[in-house]
Homo-oligomer: A and B are copies of this chain.
Amino acid sequence: MSTPVTAPDRRAAATAAELGVGARFSLHPASDDAVRVILDALAHADRDRVTVTTDDVSTLVRGTEHDVVRYVHDVLAAAGRDGTHVAAHVQLSRGCPGEVACALPDDVVLSAVAPPDLPPTGLRAAAHWALYPLDDGTPGHPGDHMRAIEQAIAVARARAAVSASHFVTRLDGDLADVLGAVADAWLAAARHVRHVVAHVTITLHSPSWAGEAAGDAAGVDR
């Protein structure tokens, strides 16, 4: 499993857009002032290296894997800055098909990509994460999406606290490590599977956590 890091000149032959790389995310501040919190967070993050398109449901981000993840991280970190309870849903997608008609050879799609280096935010995050390696297999070799998921969870474990749950894996840690774990695992799976999508719901400043010092760790969102 030693795919060499692709040299820059070769990567240039296939853009991130051709590889179907990008993200969608939505921010949900639990506040009457939600629109302002969202606009402030979007304004705070540097979008020089990504293309950002927002509609009434979510925000689309296009760019390289590195730049897309970095932008989403910066927006979430900015949204969490003023202490408002904010939830976010993030979808990371890579590989064609799934985005564009795909005529790229596997050795381009499956090239190794270094995950972004995300600085710690000081923000506690809890997340429910799911990874979908859409591995159809080949005539001689059926796919094995559960193996790819298990490998991805091992990658995530290096960065965040991981626990199993129904339909999702729970991640706990600094926002940078939680989102970093999702991105690391997504890119690890993408070295072996052409089309890989990650979904994660992240909570910051949960009201459930306020009572924890008193021993009440149960959710209030009942």
A contacts, CB < 8 Å to B: 22, 24, 26-32, 34-35, 38-39, 42, 54-60, 62, 85, 87, 89, 91, 93, 97-99, 126-128, 130, 132-146, 165-168, 170, 195, 197, 199, 201-203, 206-209, 219-222
| Contact of A38 with B91 at beta-carbon distance under 8 Å, contacts A99-B166, A132-B197 already known | no
Excluding A24-B167, A56-B209, A136-B143, 4 further A-B contacts by CB distance (< 8 Å) are A24-B168, A55-B221, A59-B221, A97-B146
Query: How distant is the Cα of A165 from the Cα of B56 in the complex, in angstroms?
Result: 13
Q: Closest CB-CB distance, A24 to chain B, in whole Å?
A: 6
CB distance from A85 to the nearest CB of B (A): 7
A-B contact pairs, 8 of them (CB 8 A): A26-B87, A29-B30, A35-B220, A89-B89, A93-B167, A98-B146, A136-B144, A142-B142
Complex Cα distance A165/B91, Å? 14
Partner of A199, one of B31, B91, B222: B91
Indicate if the CB atoms of A221 and B56 lie closer than 8 Å. Answer: yes
Chain B contacts for A168, CB-based, 8 A: 24, 58, 91
Which single member of B24, B126, B132, B195 contacts A56 (CB below 8 Å)? B126
Q: How far is A74 from B24 in the complex, measured between Cα atoms in Å? A: 27
Alpha-carbon distance A167/B202, docked complex (angstroms) = 20
Report how far A203 CA is from B144 CA in the complex, Å: 35
The chain B residue sitting closest to A140, CB to CB, is B139
| A78 to B40 CA separation, bound complex (whole angstroms) | 30
